[in-house]
Protein backbone atom coordinates (compact mmCIF):
# COMPACT_ATOMS: atom_id res chain seq x y z
CA UNK A 1 0.00 0.00 0.00
CA UNK A 2 1.06 3.55 -0.82
CA UNK A 3 4.17 2.23 -2.59
CA UNK A 4 3.25 3.80 -5.93
CA UNK A 5 4.63 7.23 -6.63
CA UNK A 6 4.64 9.67 -9.51
CA UNK A 7 8.15 10.13 -10.88
CA UNK A 8 9.06 12.16 -13.94
CA UNK A 9 6.04 11.38 -16.05
CA UNK A 10 5.29 7.85 -14.85
CA UNK A 11 3.62 6.04 -11.99
CA UNK A 12 6.21 3.63 -10.59
CA UNK A 13 7.04 1.85 -7.37
CA UNK A 14 8.90 3.99 -4.86
CA UNK A 15 11.66 1.38 -4.75
CA UNK A 16 12.27 1.88 -8.49
CA UNK A 17 12.80 5.66 -8.29
CA UNK A 18 16.47 6.48 -8.67
CA UNK A 19 18.26 9.78 -8.25
CA UNK A 20 22.03 10.10 -8.62
CA UNK A 21 24.13 11.10 -5.61
CA UNK A 22 25.43 13.81 -7.96
CA UNK A 23 21.94 15.21 -8.38
CA UNK A 24 22.00 18.97 -7.98
CA UNK A 25 18.95 19.21 -5.76
CA UNK A 26 20.35 16.50 -3.50
CA UNK A 27 23.63 18.40 -3.27
CA UNK A 28 22.34 21.95 -2.74
CA UNK A 29 18.66 21.82 -1.81
CA UNK A 30 17.70 23.64 -5.01
CA UNK A 31 14.09 22.68 -5.43
CA UNK A 32 10.58 23.30 -4.16
CA UNK A 33 8.09 21.21 -2.25
CA UNK A 34 4.49 21.16 -1.19
CA UNK A 35 2.65 19.45 1.63
CA UNK A 36 -0.98 18.54 0.99
CA UNK A 37 -3.48 16.56 3.00
CA UNK A 38 -6.26 14.23 2.03
CA UNK A 39 -9.04 13.39 4.50
CA UNK A 40 -11.06 10.19 4.37
CA UNK A 41 -14.76 10.69 5.10
CA UNK A 42 -16.13 7.36 6.33
CA UNK A 43 -19.78 8.30 6.00
CA UNK A 44 -19.43 9.54 2.43
CA UNK A 45 -16.82 6.88 1.54
CA UNK A 46 -14.85 9.66 -0.11
CA UNK A 47 -11.30 10.97 0.01
CA UNK A 48 -11.20 14.78 0.00
CA UNK A 49 -7.98 16.53 -1.03
CA UNK A 50 -7.80 19.89 0.68
CA UNK A 51 -7.20 23.02 -1.44
CA UNK A 52 -5.31 20.99 -4.02
CA UNK A 53 -5.27 23.71 -6.68
CA UNK A 54 -4.01 26.31 -4.21
CA UNK A 55 -1.13 24.06 -3.21
CA UNK A 56 -0.12 23.49 -6.83
CA UNK A 57 -0.48 27.18 -7.62
CA UNK A 58 1.97 27.84 -4.79
CA UNK A 59 4.31 25.11 -6.08
CA UNK A 60 4.38 26.68 -9.55
CA UNK A 61 5.01 30.11 -7.99
CA UNK A 62 7.90 28.67 -5.96
CA UNK A 63 9.27 27.09 -9.15
CA UNK A 64 8.98 30.39 -10.98
CA UNK A 65 11.22 32.14 -8.45
CA UNK A 66 13.69 29.26 -8.59
CA UNK A 67 13.69 29.08 -12.43
CA UNK A 68 12.56 25.45 -12.17
CA UNK A 69 10.48 24.99 -15.30
CA UNK A 70 8.45 21.87 -14.62
CA UNK A 71 6.17 21.35 -17.62
CA UNK A 72 2.80 21.01 -15.88
CA UNK A 73 -0.26 23.17 -15.35
CA UNK A 74 -2.11 23.33 -12.04
CA UNK A 75 -4.90 21.28 -13.62
CA UNK A 76 -2.50 18.56 -14.76
CA UNK A 77 -0.86 18.40 -11.33
CA UNK A 78 -4.28 17.99 -9.70
CA UNK A 79 -5.21 15.23 -12.17
CA UNK A 80 -1.94 13.37 -11.56
CA UNK A 81 -2.51 13.57 -7.80
CA UNK A 82 -6.06 12.25 -8.01
CA UNK A 83 -4.79 9.42 -10.22
CA UNK A 84 -2.05 8.62 -7.70
CA UNK A 85 -4.67 8.29 -4.95
CA UNK A 86 -6.66 5.86 -7.09
CA UNK A 87 -3.61 3.80 -8.05
CA UNK A 88 -2.73 3.44 -4.36
CA UNK A 89 -6.41 2.83 -3.47
CA UNK A 90 -6.14 5.40 -0.70
CA UNK A 91 -9.03 5.18 1.74
CA UNK A 92 -7.58 6.84 4.82
CA UNK A 93 -6.10 10.17 5.86
CA UNK A 94 -3.08 10.88 3.72
CA UNK A 95 -0.16 13.29 3.39
CA UNK A 96 1.01 14.16 -0.12
CA UNK A 97 4.50 15.45 -0.87
CA UNK A 98 5.23 16.86 -4.35
CA UNK A 99 8.87 17.78 -5.04
CA UNK A 100 10.04 19.84 -8.01
CA UNK A 101 13.76 19.34 -8.54
CA UNK A 102 16.67 19.81 -10.88
CA UNK A 103 17.16 16.48 -12.59
CA UNK A 104 20.83 16.74 -13.49
CA UNK A 105 24.12 15.64 -11.96
CA UNK A 106 25.88 18.96 -12.22
CA UNK A 107 27.79 20.44 -9.35
CA UNK A 108 27.57 24.14 -9.97
CA UNK A 109 25.10 25.72 -7.52
CA UNK A 110 23.09 27.70 -10.05
CA UNK A 111 19.48 27.53 -11.14
CA UNK A 112 19.77 27.67 -14.91
CA UNK A 113 19.44 24.10 -16.00
CA UNK A 114 17.82 22.20 -18.81
CA UNK A 115 16.19 19.31 -17.08
CA UNK A 116 13.73 19.36 -14.25
CA UNK A 117 11.97 16.61 -12.39
CA UNK A 118 8.75 16.17 -10.49
CA UNK A 119 7.93 13.46 -8.02
CA UNK A 120 4.88 13.03 -5.82
CA UNK A 121 4.86 10.50 -3.01
CA UNK A 122 2.33 9.87 -0.30
CA UNK A 123 2.43 8.80 3.32
CA UNK A 124 -0.10 7.84 5.89
CA UNK A 125 -1.04 11.00 7.81
CA UNK A 126 0.15 10.03 11.25
CA UNK A 127 1.41 13.40 12.42
CA UNK A 128 0.79 13.23 16.14
CA UNK A 129 1.08 16.37 18.20
CA UNK A 130 0.11 17.27 21.73
CA UNK A 131 -3.31 18.91 22.12
CA UNK A 132 -1.48 22.13 23.06
CA UNK A 133 2.19 23.08 22.99
CA UNK A 134 4.83 25.15 24.75
CA UNK A 135 6.89 27.31 22.42
CA UNK A 136 10.06 29.35 22.61
CA UNK A 137 11.42 32.22 20.58
CA UNK A 138 14.28 30.84 18.55
CA UNK A 139 17.68 32.47 18.53
CA UNK A 140 17.73 31.66 14.79
CA UNK A 141 16.16 34.55 12.89
CA UNK A 142 13.69 33.79 10.09
CA UNK A 143 15.13 33.80 6.57
CA UNK A 144 14.19 36.95 4.70
CA UNK A 145 13.66 38.14 1.16
CA UNK A 146 17.24 39.39 0.92
CA UNK A 147 18.61 35.92 1.78
CA UNK A 148 16.22 33.06 0.99
CA UNK A 149 12.71 34.19 0.05
CA UNK A 150 10.35 32.92 2.78
CA UNK A 151 7.26 32.98 0.53
CA UNK A 152 8.91 30.30 -1.61
CA UNK A 153 8.52 26.80 -0.23
CA UNK A 154 12.08 25.95 -1.14
CA UNK A 155 13.86 22.84 0.03
CA UNK A 156 16.91 24.87 1.09
CA UNK A 157 14.76 27.16 3.22
CA UNK A 158 13.92 24.26 5.51
CA UNK A 159 17.40 24.36 7.01
CA UNK A 160 16.19 27.50 8.79
CA UNK A 161 13.12 25.64 10.13
CA UNK A 162 15.17 22.59 11.10
CA UNK A 163 17.71 24.64 13.08
CA UNK A 164 15.00 26.46 15.01
CA UNK A 165 12.83 23.40 15.65
CA UNK A 166 15.81 21.29 16.74
CA UNK A 167 16.94 24.03 19.11
CA UNK A 168 13.46 24.14 20.63
CA UNK A 169 13.37 20.39 21.19
CA UNK A 170 16.91 20.36 22.59
CA UNK A 171 15.91 23.04 25.07
CA UNK A 172 12.80 21.20 26.26
CA UNK A 173 10.21 23.15 24.28
CA UNK A 174 7.74 21.78 21.71
CA UNK A 175 7.96 24.40 18.99
CA UNK A 176 10.08 27.33 17.83
CA UNK A 177 8.77 30.77 16.94
CA UNK A 178 10.93 32.93 14.69
CA UNK A 179 11.37 36.66 14.97
CA UNK A 180 12.56 38.94 12.19
CA UNK A 181 15.74 41.01 12.33
CA UNK A 182 13.57 43.88 13.62
CA UNK A 183 12.25 41.73 16.49
CA UNK A 184 8.76 41.15 15.12
CA UNK A 185 7.09 37.77 15.34
CA UNK A 186 7.30 35.95 12.01
CA UNK A 187 5.99 32.39 12.24
CA UNK A 188 6.74 29.05 13.86
CA UNK A 189 9.21 26.56 12.36
CA UNK A 190 6.68 25.13 9.90
CA UNK A 191 3.44 26.90 10.84
CA UNK A 192 1.88 30.33 10.74
CA UNK A 193 0.92 32.09 13.96
CA UNK A 194 -2.25 33.80 15.16
CA UNK A 195 -2.76 35.76 18.37
CA UNK A 196 -5.97 36.87 20.08
CA UNK A 197 -5.71 40.12 22.01
CA UNK A 198 -8.55 42.27 23.33
CA UNK A 199 -10.90 39.94 21.49
CA UNK A 200 -9.25 40.61 18.09
CA UNK A 201 -7.25 38.21 15.95
CA UNK A 202 -3.83 39.19 14.63
CA UNK A 203 -1.38 37.43 12.34
CA UNK A 204 1.99 38.65 11.00
CA UNK A 205 1.97 40.07 7.45
CA UNK A 206 3.96 38.67 4.50
CA UNK A 207 6.50 41.46 5.05
CA UNK A 208 7.51 39.76 8.33
CA UNK A 209 8.97 36.85 6.38
CA UNK A 210 6.24 34.25 6.55
CA UNK A 211 5.27 31.53 4.14
CA UNK A 212 1.77 32.45 2.99
CA UNK A 213 0.07 29.42 4.50
CA UNK A 214 -3.01 27.89 2.95
CA UNK A 215 -4.25 26.93 6.40
CA UNK A 216 -3.65 30.55 7.48
CA UNK A 217 -5.82 31.74 4.63
CA UNK A 218 -8.50 29.17 5.50
CA UNK A 219 -8.56 30.30 9.14
CA UNK A 220 -8.80 33.95 8.08
CA UNK A 221 -11.75 33.02 5.87
CA UNK A 222 -13.56 31.04 8.60
CA UNK A 223 -12.91 33.70 11.25
CA UNK A 224 -14.34 36.44 9.07
CA UNK A 225 -17.24 34.57 7.46
CA UNK A 226 -18.42 32.42 10.34
CA UNK A 227 -17.34 34.29 13.47
CA UNK A 228 -17.35 37.92 12.24
CA UNK A 229 -13.77 38.18 13.45
CA UNK A 230 -11.75 40.41 11.14
CA UNK A 231 -8.15 39.14 11.16
CA UNK A 232 -5.60 41.96 11.24
CA UNK A 233 -2.36 41.34 9.37
CA UNK A 234 -0.03 43.38 11.54
CA UNK A 235 3.53 43.24 12.80
CA UNK A 236 3.61 41.80 16.31
CA UNK A 237 6.57 42.85 18.48
CA UNK A 238 7.96 39.92 20.47
CA UNK A 239 6.80 41.20 23.87
CA UNK A 240 3.22 41.61 22.65
CA UNK A 241 2.99 37.87 22.27
CA UNK A 242 3.28 37.34 26.03
CA UNK A 243 0.17 39.49 26.58
CA UNK A 244 -1.96 37.43 24.18
CA UNK A 245 -5.22 35.93 25.41
CA UNK A 246 -4.80 33.02 23.00
CA UNK A 247 -2.16 31.88 20.52
CA UNK A 248 -2.44 29.15 17.93
CA UNK A 249 -0.40 27.86 15.00
CA UNK A 250 -1.75 26.78 11.61
CA UNK A 251 -0.36 24.47 8.96
CA UNK A 252 -1.33 21.56 6.76
CA UNK A 253 0.30 19.06 9.12
CA UNK A 254 -0.71 20.43 12.54
CA UNK A 255 -4.01 21.96 11.34
CA UNK A 256 -4.83 24.30 14.25
CA UNK A 257 -2.45 23.89 17.18
CA UNK A 258 -2.96 25.80 20.46
CA UNK A 259 0.09 27.36 22.14
CA UNK A 260 -0.31 27.74 25.91
CA UNK A 261 3.14 28.92 26.90
CA UNK A 262 5.84 31.04 25.24
CA UNK A 263 9.30 31.42 26.77
CA UNK A 264 7.98 29.99 30.06
CA UNK A 265 5.25 32.65 30.23
CA UNK A 266 1.72 31.34 30.47
CA UNK A 267 -0.53 32.49 27.63
CA UNK A 268 -4.00 33.59 28.76
CA UNK A 269 -5.36 31.12 31.28
CA UNK A 270 -2.84 28.45 30.30
CA UNK A 271 -5.69 26.39 28.83
CA UNK A 272 -6.79 26.03 25.20
CA UNK A 273 -8.78 29.23 24.50
CA UNK A 274 -12.42 29.27 23.36
CA UNK A 275 -11.78 31.03 20.03
CA UNK A 276 -8.94 28.62 19.22
CA UNK A 277 -11.23 25.68 20.00
CA UNK A 278 -14.05 26.99 17.82
CA UNK A 279 -11.78 27.70 14.86
CA UNK A 280 -10.12 24.31 15.25
CA UNK A 281 -13.48 22.53 15.29
CA UNK A 282 -14.69 24.44 12.21
CA UNK A 283 -11.44 23.73 10.35
CA UNK A 284 -11.61 20.00 11.05
CA UNK A 285 -15.20 19.84 9.82
CA UNK A 286 -14.36 21.67 6.62
CA UNK A 287 -11.32 19.57 5.65
CA UNK A 288 -13.26 16.33 6.12
CA UNK A 289 -16.16 17.49 3.94
CA UNK A 290 -18.63 18.01 6.77
CA UNK A 291 -19.49 21.62 6.03
CA UNK A 292 -21.46 22.11 2.82
CA UNK A 293 -20.50 25.80 2.66
CA UNK A 294 -16.85 24.97 2.04
CA UNK A 295 -17.02 22.03 -0.37
CA UNK A 296 -15.30 24.27 -2.93
CA UNK A 297 -12.05 23.78 -0.99
CA UNK A 298 -12.18 20.03 -1.59
CA UNK A 299 -11.29 17.76 -4.49
CA UNK A 300 -13.15 14.46 -4.19
CA UNK A 301 -11.12 11.53 -5.51
CA UNK A 302 -13.70 8.80 -6.12
CA UNK A 303 -16.97 10.52 -7.17
Ligand X SMILES: Cc1ncc(COP(=O)(O)O)c(C=O)c1O
Q: Where does this chain bind ligand X (CB under 6 A)?
A: 35, 161, 187, 190-192, 211, 213-216, 250-252
Q: For the CB of residue 36, give the shortest distance to ligand X in the complex, in Å.
A: 8
Q: For the CB of residue 217, give the shortest distance to ligand X in the complex, in Å.
A: 8
Q: For the CB of residue 211, give the shortest distance to ligand X in the complex, in Å.
A: 4
The Cα 153–Cα 148 span in angstroms is 10
**177 or 211: whose CB is closer to ligand X?**
211
The Cα 28–Cα 142 span in angstroms is 19
The enclosing H or E element of 122 equals strand 116-124
The Cα 244–Cα 154 span in angstroms is 31
**85 or 211: whose CB is closer to ligand X?**
211
Q: For the CB of residue 252, give the shortest distance to ligand X in the complex, in Å.
A: 3
**134 or 161: whose CB is closer to ligand X?**
161
**4 or 218: whose CB is closer to ligand X?**
218
Q: For the CB of residue 57, give the shortest distance to ligand X in the complex, in Å.
A: 11
Nearest-CA neighbor of 204 among 165, 249, 174, 171? 249
**44 or 57: whose CB is closer to ligand X?**
57
270: left (phi over 0), alpha (psi -120 to 50) or beta: left
207: helix, strand or coil: helix
Nearest-CA neighbor of 303 among 56, 10, 41? 41
Amino acid sequence: MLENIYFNGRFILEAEAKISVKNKTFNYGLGAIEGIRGYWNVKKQELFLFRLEDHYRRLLNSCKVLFIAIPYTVKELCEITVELMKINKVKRDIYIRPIAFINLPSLRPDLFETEYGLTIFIEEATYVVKPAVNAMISSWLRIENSTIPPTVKSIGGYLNSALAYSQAIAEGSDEAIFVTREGNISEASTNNLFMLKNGELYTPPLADNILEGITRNTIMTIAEKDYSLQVKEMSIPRSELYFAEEIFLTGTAVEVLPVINVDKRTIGTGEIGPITSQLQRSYLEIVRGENVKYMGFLTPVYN
